[in-house]
Structure 1
């Protein structure tokens, strides 16, 4: 192995370390990589010169001088993260260090909300976003190269990027990954939205030190993402976490479920709106139905709220019995209601599970599915040492 090859390998190790841990002092990089401080300093200097790294004097003051931390340069390269949600499409241009550089939301017309029309709208949105990305002024690096595309979808997705089904989008067995690769010529990662929220929380969220966590993502449907031993657990066919397909009771076994499962038909936002209407509860359709229901003083609304929380808790008791998560992360419509839901759910779990997990809201500060999509996009791009070429 030549000296140049060794240097490239070690530079790649430093890049991967900084991606995983964020800003670090050179001495800490040396300790983590088992390289000498002088070697790290030389390689870091080269990458500072090329623009892959930047440094800041934001560390602890030692001996009268602040410790200089180095980190990946957000402007050196980007990924495009896309969240194809039930009623909108959100796109973020994400820097190499995970910083969201630009974010935009498109709302399809009613005729474009589902099926082939939604696919065409999505492709147009991505094309426009990539065009805008090439014109992005990133300071030292004008027009940073977009390395890969990460896409979040509300439904189970195979490892090949095939959307098995998405009831809200009316997609079935859609080879979205192949379509995007052929259209845009970039590495592409397509994944389930709840799984991507779980990836974001486990890598950059407040719960990244948790050995296991469970994301409960409540939208039109209900999904979840499972992290065990600090890694996403996708299941045999990429279908783990489909909590919306749980059966609320034994009577549901008589039915066959195409699209939405039993639990989400009752507890997702669409199903809950139907139940509220059946109970004569006035709901403003343009507002969050969960917030309206859980904060209402109307007796009928309070009764339905109690039943709904009991049903969610029953599902979570089963989850805890199976995977014993350290943290349950509330996402989607539940995230802004976490302060209210924490006590309601914790009291229902207490005495029914052997270990009551921490219950907390999403913590990443952005749409978790977007950040997760950016992470898997960069995973798909491959080794960061490619940026040294």
Structure 2
């Protein structure tokens, strides 16, 4: 009889460890016997693998649960506080940062305003925000496991920001800078992709196969999830639907094009139109709308129509189950909702609307920062499953 090579046995153990850890992540609290039933692995193998995961501080034995006859089973939980992740949403006019446990629960949150876009000013603030979160982190077996950052621009596979028109930045090797400074793995992605992941994991997109997340802030970005997977395109640069041309001879855009959707439907577009009324920020406009200011409410309605115009194009192209509106304009839902819905209803093809729903981000303007932290958590857990 042929003897299996040690390498083969090691691979099998890694695969089985990953299966057991995934069962705990998805279905805890559960017993060793329940893991055996769910995975098809025999009880002795499960007991050995569980003990290994307990020794590695990834699983907790929380003691006996309810008995269905016989001995009470000992229940297992994922050790969410075995380590921590940092998520950052780097906006055009803000930096939002969170510290989460390994289940994505927010432990700490920080936010600061940006009034100067120069990289030499923003990057030190970004580093300070991360450092503050790291310094405030509770003690844990694994400490800080990683950092995820969503940025308003195009990012390559090496984590370099190639193009961020609303920041006017040159190419910035952000992943390399972060990893050198903090000594942990970093993931850098477009903030709309991070937002899509945040809503899929923690918000309105849970369990939905085909969804488009529309991030409406100073600019507009989109995260595209098809068949439950983030679609990034041939070179990884998909989702720049804020630069759809909606006016052939329209206003010049910082991207080099003319008549881009974000020039008419973004927070920036709203603020430009609100300037003659004496308003300079979104919160002030929302306050005025809450007080019944008809001029401001009309501005929101007009922006809602423009948002709906772009979403109708998205619906006609992708035929998604849902489109989720998120980022800062999510705060204005009460005043844009009807205009967005009416415009999509009149412009999207009838067959595409049959199984379509228009949703607003459950995470509000925290979708991207939650998704960014999820990137770091996922990378850590993938490494643990493979070790």
Q: Which residue of 2 aligns with 1:350?
A: 345
Q: Which residue of 2 aligns with 1:258?
A: 255
Q: Which residue of 2 aligns with 1:91?
A: 97
- CA displacement at 1:194 relative to structure 2: 1.0
Let me know the Cα RMSD of the aligned residues.
3.4
Contact 1:76 1:145 in 2 (8 A): yes
C-alpha separation between the residues in 2 aligned to 1:241 and 1:284? 28
Q: Which residue of 2 aligns with 1:82?
A: 88
Alignment of 1:334 onto 2:329: yes
CA-to-aligned-CA distance 1:19-42 (integer Å, 9 cap, x gap): 4x3535245533443313453244
Change over 3 Å in CA distance of 1:4–1:161 after alignment to 2? closer
Q: Which residue of 2 aligns with 1:12?
A: 18
Secondary structure in structure 1 of the residue aligned to 2:41: coil
Residues 207-222 of structure 1 mapped to structure 2, 5 A cutoff: 207-222=205-220
Contact 1:266 1:275 in 2 (8 A): no
Q: Which residue of 2 aligns with 1:171?
A: 169
- CA displacement at 1:68 relative to structure 2: 6.6
C-alpha separation between the residues in 2 aligned to 1:165 and 1:259? 12
- CA displacement at 1:220 relative to structure 2: 0.9
Alignment partner for residue 318 of structure 2, among 306, 320, 323?
323
Residues 68-147 of structure 1 mapped to structure 2, 5 A cutoff: 70-107=76-113, 110=115, 113-133=117-137, 136-137=138-139, 141=140, 144-147=142-145
Aligned pairs, number: 375
Contact 2:92 2:218 in 1 (8 A): yes
Alignment partner for residue 308 of structure 1, among 278, 303, 307?
303
C-alpha separation between the residues in 2 aligned to 1:213 and 1:188? 26
- CA displacement at 1:62 relative to structure 2: 5.2
C-alpha separation between the residues in 1 aligned to 2:386 and 2:50? 14
Change over 3 Å in CA distance of 1:62–1:106 after alignment to 2? farther
C-alpha separation between the residues in 1 aligned to 2:330 and 2:76? 33
Q: Which residue of 1 aligns with 2:277?
A: 281
C-alpha separation between the residues in 2 aligned to 1:321 and 1:60? 52
Change over 3 Å in CA distance of 1:22–1:284 after alignment to 2? farther
C-alpha separation between the residues in 1 aligned to 2:332 and 2:64? 35
Alignment of 1:368 onto 2:380: no
- CA displacement at 1:103 relative to structure 2: 2.3
C-alpha separation between the residues in 2 aligned to 1:32 and 1:11? 14
Relative to the length of structure 2, the TM-score reads 0.83
Alignment partner for residue 23 of structure 1, among 21, 24, 28?
28
CA-to-aligned-CA distance 1:187-244 (integer Å, 9 cap, x gap): 1110111110111222333422111111111111111111000011112333222122
- Unpaired runs of 5+ residues, structure 1, are none
Contact 1:23 1:70 in 2 (8 A): yes
Contact 1:288 1:333 in 2 (8 A): no
Secondary structure in structure 2 of the residue aligned to 1:147: strand
- CA displacement at 1:76 relative to structure 2: 1.1
